Each structure stands twice: as C-alpha cells, then as structure tokens.
Structure 1
Amino acid sequence: MDMLRFATAGSVDDGKSTLIGRLLFDSKSIFEDQLDAVESASKARGNEYTDLALLTDGLRAEREQGITIDVAYRYFATPKRKFIIADTPGHAQYTRNMVTGASTADLAIILVDARKGLTEQSRRHATIATLLRVPHLVLAVNKMDLVDYSEDVFEAIYKEFSDFAAKLDVNDLTAIPISALEGDNVVERSARMPWYQGTSLLHHLEHVHIASDRNLQDVRFPVQYVIRPQHSAARDYRGFAGTVASGVMKVGDEVLALPSGLTSRIKAIDGPEGSLTEAYPPMAVTIRLEDELDISRGDVLCRPANHPQPTQDLDLTVCWMDDRPLTIGQKIGVLHTTRSARAIVKDIAYELDVNTLHREQGIRQLGLNSIGRVKLRVTTPLMVDDYDDNRTTGAMILIDEATNGTVGAGVVRAI
C-alpha cells in the first residue's frame, strides 16, 4: 500500500481535532484503552458526549484550553491506503506550526465552520498550503448539522473559497460538506444531505491520485553522512548515506557530485535490508560509487545533464515565525537540505496580504506570521531548484544563530 500524508488546517474551533478523532474512531483505528481515556476525560470536562478531539489534543494545556497548540501526528490505515495525519493549530500565533505540518503533506484539508464561513485564518492557511505546493486541497465545510444541512450555505461557502483559490493557482480542489461531530460524510455517505452527490471524505482520501505528484524526473540526492567503517573487515567500504529527494537512481547510472563537479557511476545501492537495484523518493539509502571522490555532508549527487546551478543569491518567499521581526541587513542562518550556511538579508521586496493577496512594497521588516518576498546573500553556494519543480531542494529553513531556533521557512518561488 502507498501512504498519504495530509494536514488539517482552518480557524479556531472549526473542528479539526474532532474530524481526525472521527476518522480514527469510525475506521476502528484506536485501542479500547485510548477510547476509555477519552471518555473519562470527556466526563471530567462535563461533556455529555465522547469528545473525539481529545484523541489528538494530547498536551495537558491543549486539553484544558480545548485548542490545539502543537502539531499532533496520528497514524492509521485502511485496506486501501496508509495515512499520516498532521493536526495543525488554528490560532494565528501558531501559524508556524501549520507550516511545519503542511511542508510534507500530499493533501491539505481546509476546514470551515458552516456558520461562520471563510475567516482570515482560512485564507491564511489556504495561502500557505498553496505556497508550500501541497498538490491537493479539500474544502471541508464542517458543522453542517448546525445549519440544518443547508445546500445553499454549502454552495455559498464553496463559491467564495473557489473565487479566492483561483488567485492562488490551486491545481486540485474538492469540496465536501461534513459534520465531524455526527459523522456525516466523514467515513460513510450521509443520508441527511441527499443533494450532495460526491464521495465521503475517507473515500476521497483513499482514492486521490498522488503517484504523479512525486519528484521522479530529476535526480537529487543530498548527502547526509559519509559511512567509513573502522573495523578491518569493511575498511574499504565508503558509502554516502541520505534520502533520495527526487528522481530514480539505478546501479550503473552516471552521477555528478556538486559542488566539486566530478562524475562517477553508481557501483551499489544499500538499503536497510540489503542491496537494491534502484532507489527513489523518499527512500533512505547508501550510495557507493565506482571512483573515490571527495564528497562530504551537504554535497549533492545528480545527473550530469540535469543539475542545479550553485548560487549564493537567494530569492525566497518567506513565512516569518519569530516574535522579533525580520529586518533588512539582519544576519541569519540557513539550512538547505543537509547543507548549512550563513546569510544576510539584502532586501524585502514586499509583504503579501493573505486576505486580498495584495503585495505591499517598500517595507523594511516582516513581523510574526507574515509572508513576503525576501532576498538573501549566503556565504556558501547552495544547490537549489525552483520549489515548483522540487519541494525538497527548493525549500529551506531560517535559523537564529544566537539561539539555534527556527525563525522562518522559505521557498525558492515567486508569488
């Protein structure tokens, strides 16, 4: 079975955690002791029903406040597919957590409360999901039971979201009316909305096509670690360990090592369970070459005829995640795949308004949760691709050198 990674996003109290709890409960993916713990916690909070949101709200602070703060990951499987869920927070101050959850997602579920319609956070999360090039979006209009399962309410929200999504260049958008609390259209089709002719949410998650979304065209293999055993039996072994970012690597293929520019051929590919004839994303493997090349952590193996051009000038779309603003002239750390570098902020071209998508120019800084176009100059050449072509080599994180904390996320892509 293949695996689908998806993230839930939306405004506060739109029902993200309840939806995931319903998926886990109705698909019989939770243990009895987990359910007992949730039932006990629900009674302690005075609820007359089992609050399935507590299945994902694991932190004590989250349970006390009834909100999601951190990204909660859950795993489940059906006979059709395996799933990894990232339940992301809805509060504006935790937008950075949403970026974390969506960065590796194949699909994003944007939840909207049927009573409230689109909010600023709904638009913000849709914008971030699009900037992160999440291939598939699902608009889940939740709490339909509180609007009498009205088709007019659903259609109005769908039209408003579709008009907004048209400005974001969304490739695949599906809209589903649901009630996470009651279970309507979550795992099974609901008889309460006969006007809806589509599938349930779980059916859509099981059948959405993601194979063509993988980076299979251009070989990119960032080297994470050089393996040189010290014991005599394997002293001649020299392998380059890492995760295949894109493309298919086969034994006998010619590869180019960057930034040195030297070429060789793949002698062997070693996986966790033995030798392999080929490797592809997201496999973690060790590559052995026919020639003794000087390769270290941060270098990249690729095709000689198709390789990124090392550059020290970066033009990024940045989501800023720190309370202290990003300013022109600021020095910052950059982590790109397995290579680290220092950088200076040369310019901030504009800040993006997530509601109107207006580009405000002439600004000198980006505040918390702001999205904008930033130009950096790095000390070490980086082998970057356009984010539209490669989500791994086209992305990087920004690091505060004093605290070593992540303060921003950037993609090599214009908006």
Structure 2
Amino acid sequence: MNAAVTQEQLANASSSQPHERGLLRFITAGSVDDGKSTLIGRLLFDSKGIFADQLDAISRAKHKRTVGDTVDLSLLTDGLEAEREQGITIDVAYRYFATPKRKFIIADTPGHEQYTRNMVTGASTADAVIILVDVSKVKFGDDGSVELLTQTKRHSTIAHLLQIEHVIVAVNKMDLVDYDEKVYTRIVAAYQQFAQQLGLKDVHAIPLSALAGDNVVTESPKMPWYKGPTLIELLESLSVYEDAHEEPFRFPVQLVARHNGHEANDFRGYMGRIEAGRVSRGDKLVVLPGGHSATVKDIQTLDGSLESASAGQSVTILLDEYIDISRGDLLAAADKAPTALKSVTADVCWLSEDALDPRRKYWLKHTTKQVAARVAKVDTLLDINTQERRAADTLKLNDIARVSINVQAPIAADAYQDIRATGAFILIDEVTHQTVAAGMIRID
C-alpha cells in the first residue's frame, strides 16, 4: 500500500475542513449610555487603531463630554452632529482596526429604543456581539433579585434571532462601584439566567471600565479577583468559520447579460454573487421558482474563465440550456434545492413607527426578488422581559413576533438557521417605500 499523499489529496482534505476566518465582525449593543461608543473608542485608542489627526480632531471637538484635557473617545464613532449634541448614538458607525493576531470590523450600534432598527442592520452581518451592562443602572432588589434593562434584553433577543454565534457580556463602569466583585457576580448570574431562558449558548462575561481602560486592552490591577482574558484577548480568541462555503449552492440572479446583437456568437450569462456553497463546470443546477434543470457551461469573471467558484465571489454563469431566467430567480444545487414558498412563516422585528395594518400591501424583498405580500396573521408576539409568547392583532415599533405572510409569487427560500442569505428578507411599505420589518424565515 502506497503511503505517499498527492498534492490533490492534500487539497481535498483541507477543503473538507472548515476554514477559520482571520476577520471578526462584531457589534456593541445594550441600552442608552451604557458606554458602547466609549468602549470602541478605547479599543481603537489602546490598540493604536487611530491616526494622530483623528485624535487631534476629537480633542478639539466642541461637544466633548469629558473634563479637562481628557479625550472623549466616544466621538471616534459618534460622528453625526446630532449624536454629539445629544450624547447618544443614532446611526450605525463602522470602524476597522487590526492587531498582530486578527483583523476586526466594529459596528457601533444605537442603544436608544427609537433606533433599534439601526441595531438590527448592524447585527445582521455580525459574528459576535458585545452586550454592555451599565452597573449603575441595574436594579438590585432587597430579596437578592437583579433586574436587567429592557433594552439589554431586547438586543440579546435580536442577537439570538439573528443567530450571532458569540455573545460577550461586558459589565461596564465597574469604577462606579469600586470594582466590587459581588456586584459583578450578581449581574452575570442574572444575565446567565436570562440567556439560558433565551437559548444563547456561547456567552462570555468580563468586568471592565471603558472610560478608564480597565480590562479592555490591558489587564486591570484594580480587579485582581478576575482571572479571565481582557476584552481584546477574548475577541482575538473567538473562532469564526467560513460556513457559507460548505452550504448548498445558492446564486440569486441579479442581471442577465447579453451581447448587443451585433456579435456573431450568441451570449447569455447570469450575473450575481454566490451567497452559499460552490459551483463548478458541469454541475447540475435547478432554476427556481420554475424548477427547470440546467448544467453549468462556464463561470466567467473580469479576469477570465474559472473552473469553479465559491461563496462571496461575483461571477457570470453560463448554462448549456436555453431557459427563461430573469432577475430574482435562483440557481441552486439540484440535489439540495430550497423550498418554493407561497406562504412564509417568519420571525420579524417591526422597524416602523407606523403599526402593522393587515389590510395593507407590502413588498417582500428576498435576495434579488421583490414580490407583493400581505401579513396574513400575527401568530404570536414575544414579550421581551419574560420571553413568553401571546396573541396579538398588530405590531408596533420594536415588536418581535412570529407572523404568517402570503406572497403573490413563490420565493425560493431556506430556513434562516440553515442559510442566512436565502432565509432573510425585509418588508417595504408599498406607499412610502420605507423598510418596515426585517424577517427570518422559519421552515418546520
């Protein structure tokens, strides 16, 4: 028996193993004034992730909220004039920084209930979430009970619905309670109980002070009782794998490319971005929602023809067969095709200040397809505090509910927990064109 291993066998073996990504996308979440923007500013400042001119600009800012020459680090992400005037985060701010071990993209999301929709936007692509808990706002009962803020629970619930893999509970402003271990322990126990009720699994807790820099990048001597990693060490250690490459092939068609009519050879290509899986020449596909079979003839990019391509690449796919395919159709693996749905069951976050009107028409935007839709029924409304579900007739701003939606034309969809890209959608108001809800499809 030959013990030699060929290069091809090594390549196949490595491709079958999940690939860990060097880039981590994470968001900060929690209630208003829990210190999210200050924490990100501290991360950037202590990890040398800001330029001298940026530091100089925020040092001279007229809306800084610190005393004396102390730099207001929250201004690194709160860039809007309204944010600086009011001292709150309104829009999502993205920042990039890197350490010798990893690259990061941070989304600083609003804590105010009015801007929960912006938090949902930032969380939709995150691998990890830092839930900040302000020790000065937590209510401690005489009976030993601990009451977390509603917005902390809401953001944790959204993180669970969006299936964010890693949750970090950052108990912030420990300097306000003299770095008391008992206060930290009680808060963490209360959150762990809520997380268990919610179904969160990978939860890490850390005590810190974003303003003073305790346990953010450097270890704090003021909390010798804490034996765990600093925040940056924890972020560097989180495992994030490229699951999209291992999922069944999904390719929403964005554009049909044709020659201009003066070419001798006919050309018909289907342009878009591979959202999941991989594809190679000769692969058997199914075109949905029509259900026609197709064979991959070629895969083209601006750099030339490819033998194969995988999730994240934007390509033009040519087929052997002549089939009526247009924008909004989905090319999928023939042996693992998604379900064509005319009725959709989904968990939704209601993002509009106008309440849901079941008599009203909405547009459902799913991948590259947009279809007319009606919310047929609100099945259950989720109580953020108790995690219990109850009956409801309508939805208002920030409500989270399980709903049934009827669509005018079938959509080819997967369950959100299986493939995010083809399991997510938004609802758009037909009249105002405002996004009113973000949804995650559930298939039993």
For the Cα contact (< 8 Å) 2:28–2:109, is it kept in 1? yes
CA positional deviation for 1:215: 5.9
- Provide Cα deviations, 1:23-63, integer angstroms capped at 9, x if missing partner: 11112121111111111016865632100100000100000
2:434 aligns with: 405
Aligned counterparts, 1:134-173, within 5 A: 134-173=164-203
| Matched position secondary structure for 2:277 | coil
Which secondary structure does the structure 1 equivalent of 2:132 belong to?
A: strand
Q: Contact 1:133/1:391 (CA < 8 Å) preserved in 2? A: no
After TM superposition, the score normalised by the length of structure 2 is: 0.88
Q: Which residue of structure 2 aligns with residue 14 of structure 1?
A: 34
Residue 25 of structure 1 aligns with which residue? 45
Paired positions, count: 414
- CA drift of 1:271 comes to 4.0
Letter in 2 for 1:107: A
- Go from structure 1 to structure 2 and tell me whether the alpha carbon gap of 1:155 and 1:44 turns closer, same or farther (over 3 Å shift): closer
Cα distance change of structure 1 residues 243 and 329 upon mapping to structure 2, 3 Å threshold? same
Q: Is the 8 A contact 1:373 1:414 kept in 2?
A: no
Map 1:243-392 to 2 at 5 A: 243-271=273-301, 273-361=303-391, 363-392=392-421
C-alpha spacing 1:216/1:58, structure 2 compared with 1 (3 Å): same
Q: Which amino acid aligns with 1:133?
A: Q
Q: AA paired with 2:27?
A: A
Deviates more, 1:136-145 or 1:259-268: 259-268
**Structure-2 separation of matches of 1:4 and 1:81:** 8
Correspondence for 2:237: 207
Unmatched runs of 5 consecutive residues or more in structure 1:
none
Indicate if the aligned counterparts of 1:57 and 1:68 stay in contact, CA closer than 8 A: yes
Contact preservation (8 Å) 2:64, 2:84: no
CA offsets, 1:187-230, max 9 Å, x none? 22223222222212112222211115546222111111222243
State the distance in 2 between where 1:45 and 1:169 align.
38
Give the Å deviation of 1:82: 2.1
Q: Who is 2:137 aligned against? A: 116
AA aligned to 2:260 is: Q
> After superposition, what is the alpha-carbon deviation per residue over 1:345-374, rounded to whole angstroms, capped at 9, x for unaligned?
21111211111112121x211111111111
Q: Secondary structure in 1 aligned to 2:33? A: coil
- Give the aligned residue type for 1:398: L
Q: 1:22-171 residue pairs with structure 2 within 5 A?
A: 22-41=42-61, 47-48=67-68, 49-117=70-138, 118-171=148-201
Q: 1:281 to 1:42 in 2, by over 3 A?
A: farther
In structure 1, how many angstroms separate the alpha carbons of the residues matched to 2:231 and 2:252? 36
Aligned Cα RMSD in Å?
2.1
Secondary structure of 1:129 counterpart? helix
Deviation at 1:249, TM superposition (A): 2.0
Gaps of 5+ in 2: 1-20, 139-147
Note closer, same or farther for the CA distance 1:310–1:201 as it changes in structure 2 (3 Å cut). same
* TM-superposed deviation, 1:253: 2.1
**The residue matched to 1:288 in structure 2 has which SS?**
strand
Q: Is the Cα–Cα contact under 8 Å of residues 42 and 50 in structure 1 kept in the other structure?
A: no
What secondary structure, in the 3-state scheme, does the structure 2 residue paired with 1:292 have? Answer: coil
Q: Indicate how the Cα distance of structure 1 residues 335 and 89 shifts in structure 2: closer, same or farther if over 3 A, else same.
A: same
- Quickly say closer, same or farther: Cα 1:112–1:30, change in 2 above 3 A: same
**Range with greater deviation from structure 2 (182-191 or 53-62):** 182-191
Give 1:238 shift: 2.9
Q: CA deviation at 1:261?
A: 1.8
Provide the rounded CA distance (Å) in 1 between the counterparts of 2:40 and 2:291.
48
Distance 2:339 2:187 in 1: 44
CA deviations over 1:282-334 (Å, ceiling 9, x no partner):
33222222333322111111111111121110111111111110133322111
Note the alpha carbon deviations across 1:96-128, whole angstroms, 9 max, x for none.
Answer: 111111111111111111222321000000001
Equivalent residue letter for 2:215: N
List structure 1 segments (4+ residues) > 6 angstroms apart after TM superposition: none
TM-score normalised to structure 1 length: 0.94
- Flag the structure with larger Rg: 2
SS at match of 2:198: coil
Structure 1 46/203 Cα, relative in aligned 2: closer, same or farther at 3 Å?
Answer: closer
Q: 1:44 to 1:356 in 2, by over 3 A?
A: closer
CA distance in 1, matches of 2:221, 2:66: 30
Instruction: Give the conservation status (yes or no) of the 8 Å contact 1:351–1:359.
Output: yes
Q: Kindly tell me: are residues 12 and 43 of structure 1, through their superposed partners in 2, closer, same or farther at Cα, counting changes over 3 Å? A: closer
For the residue of structure 2 that corresponds to 1:223, the secondary structure is: strand
Q: Percent identity?
A: 52
- Taking a change above 3 Å as real, the CA distance of residues 38 and 219 of structure 1, as seen in their structure-2 partners, is same
